Amino acid sequence: MSAAKKYIGAAKPTKPETVYMLRLADNALILGHRLSEMCGHGPEMELDIAMTNMSLDLIGQAKLLFEHILTIEPLAPNADVLAMTRPLEQYSNCLLVAQPNVDFAHIMLRQYLFSTMQKLQYEALLGSSDKTLAAIAEKSLKEIAYHIRFAKSWVLRLGDGTEESRDRMADALDCLWRFTGEMFADDAGVKGAVETDLSADFTKGYKNWMLEIEGVLSDAGGLTPPETGRMIMGGYDGLHDEHLGHILADLQFMQISYPGLRW
């Protein structure tokens, strides 16, 4: 590898605006990548295409956000370098989006929990002082509405389906519920975005979100969220579990092995 082509990596964001937008971008990138892993592995051809469509929606959202971040703070020479060459602890996605594709129930519940949160998170951007960000949110909300419709219909169907499908949805709920608190944490990242008028405070919608989810779960074969002593947090601060490491090994390989590689 010549010195000129040596991988340099991306700088850490320092402004509250870029810190927050990087979080949104990483959420979309990592969940988009997780869904892309299902390409060719869906339980039915129709569902295979549905998951990869959602994957492309999310990676498209991530691309717009990464590109916009670079116009505000030059963290990297281009969006690819920013998206795909950072060390693990510089990724600021929430833990939920990196959880593995255990089965179709896990994938649909993960999508439903995330997309319903993402809807509130992006609605809070519509009045942003950053007009480009507001436009990205407006475009993405149409995609998110569809993701919710699709995932919700499968949460209901599997929960209220056969004994096996209900068991699988119950197992997914047991595994994933502990990661939902992090998505609504009113932490420094959210505060920074609110103080700079980048976003309204969507975390105030946590209680209503919970009521909506509990209602849908109840309709899905009478499921209830498990008792959770402590929500698991850390992803937004770069403290990840091993799942993200496995994703990055795959996601980063080409860009790190061949710096500057373009399609």
Cα gap 117→111, rounded to integer Å: 10
List b or e across 118-142, with b for residues whose CB sees 16 or more CB atoms inside 10 angstroms. Answer: bbbbbbbbeebebeebbebbeebee
Please name which of 249, 253, 259, 252 lies closest in space to residue 6, comparing C-alpha atoms. 259
| Shortest reach from residue 114's CB to other proteins, in Å | 18
Residues 232/219, Cβ–Cβ less than 8 Å? no
| Shortest reach from residue 7's CB to other proteins, in Å | 35
Cα gap 208→192, rounded to integer Å: 23
Residue 43 near other proteins by CB under 8 A: yes
Q: Which is nearer to other proteins, 157 or 243 (CB)?
A: 157
Determine how many CB atoms are found less than 10 A away from the CB of residue 143: 19
The interface with other proteins within residues 125-184 (CB under 8 A) comprises 146, 149-150, 153, 157
Q: Which is nearer to other proteins, 150 or 184 (CB)?
A: 150
Residue 232 near other proteins by CB under 8 A: no
Q: Using the rule CB under 8 A, which residue among 2, 14, 45, 262 binds other proteins?
A: 45
Residue 53 near other proteins by CB under 8 A: yes
| Shortest reach from residue 11's CB to other proteins, in Å | 37
| Shortest reach from residue 157's CB to other proteins, in Å | 7
- Kindly list the residues in this chain that would bind other proteins in the complex (CB under 8 A): 43-47, 49-50, 53, 146, 149-150, 153, 157
